[in-house]
Amino acid sequence: MRHRTSQREQEQEQLPDNELEDYLAALAPDSDTDTTGSGRRFGGAEVHQLRLPLMANEQLREIAAYRNTSPMALAQEWVMQRLEWEAQQLKQS
């Protein structure tokens, strides 16, 4: 027995699926957004790549495992702490 699709099903198959394009457009940085070119924007955040020497990377992984967190989360926590410290130093000078 041969399966025949209805005309409505055929029309729906021909319509473009814009869900993926809409999702990617929502994630894309705005064209008028100021950026240093160091990363891509995601919501209110910006992505930066961090290259570490192998020994530092291994230390980061070990400390993160000891603290039951990911190396990325730990590095982000440390950067945020350092930025807060730097801001305090600027206020004091």
Please provide the DSSP assignment of 22-38 as one string.
HHHHHHSPPTT----SS
pLDDT at 80 over 90: yes
* Overall number of domains in the chain: 1
What's the alpha-carbon Rg for the chain, to the nearest Å?
A: 24
The whole domain housing 74 covers: 53-93
Please check whether residue 89 lies inside any domain of the structure: yes
What's residue 57's pLDDT?
A: 95
Please check whether residue 63 lies inside any domain of the structure: yes
Please check whether residue 32 lies inside any domain of the structure: no
What's residue 40's pLDDT?
A: 57
Q: How far is CA 13 from CA 10, 20, 65, 83, in A?
A: 5, 16, 48, 52
Quick one: average pLDDT of 25-41? 57
Please check whether residue 90 lies inside any domain of the structure: yes
Please check whether residue 79 lies inside any domain of the structure: yes
Please check whether residue 39 lies inside any domain of the structure: no
